[in-house]
Amino acid sequence: MTAELASRTKIEVICDQPLIRRLVAIANGVGMTHYTVLSALSGQGDAGPWSDDQLTSASAKVMICFVTSPDVAANFLRDLGQILESHSLRVWVSSVQVFRPERY
């Protein structure tokens, strides 16, 4: 069996943990149902350094990653634009090669 690669688009978003549901709703609205959420322990941004408050999660940040077709990614980014500035999201978009493209 020969594994073939296919081109897809990866979107990574850093956001406050409470926004996960909203990002997932936007993703589901354009047909993206697969994602991974990673905890972010600390970092530094425009407002200076931050770190996760383990007691209250008041400043907890996460990275949510999606891999999808370029067309679906474009629709997601269009809809994400509605909350981009108001929520200080950080968004990276890149082209990737995937195995088992039918899963994306």
**Which neighbouring-strand residues pair with 49?**
44
Residue ranges covered by each domain of the chain:
6-96
Can you give the pLDDT at residue 53?
65
Instruction: Please name which of 93, 77, 84, 63 lies closest in space to residue 32, comparing C-alpha atoms.
Output: 77
Which CATH fold topology does 6-96 show? Alpha-Beta Plaits (3.30.70)
Can you give the pLDDT at residue 23?
96
Q: Which two tokens mark 17?
A: 């943990």
Helices (H), the chain: 20-29, 70-80
Can you give the pLDDT at residue 91?
95
Can you give the pLDDT at residue 74?
97
**Between the CA of residue 49 and those of 2, 12, 29, 40, what are the distances in Å?**
47, 20, 34, 13
**Between the CA of residue 79 and those of 31, 34, 37, 56, 62, what are the distances in Å?**
12, 17, 19, 30, 20
Walk along the chain (104 residues) and give the pLDDT tens digit of each residue: 567 899 999 999 999 888 999 999 999 999 999 999 998 887 777 777 777 665 555 568 899 999 999 999 999 999 999 888 788 789 999 999 999 888 88
Instruction: Please name which of 5, 10, 2 lies closest in space to residue 98, comparing C-alpha atoms.
Output: 5
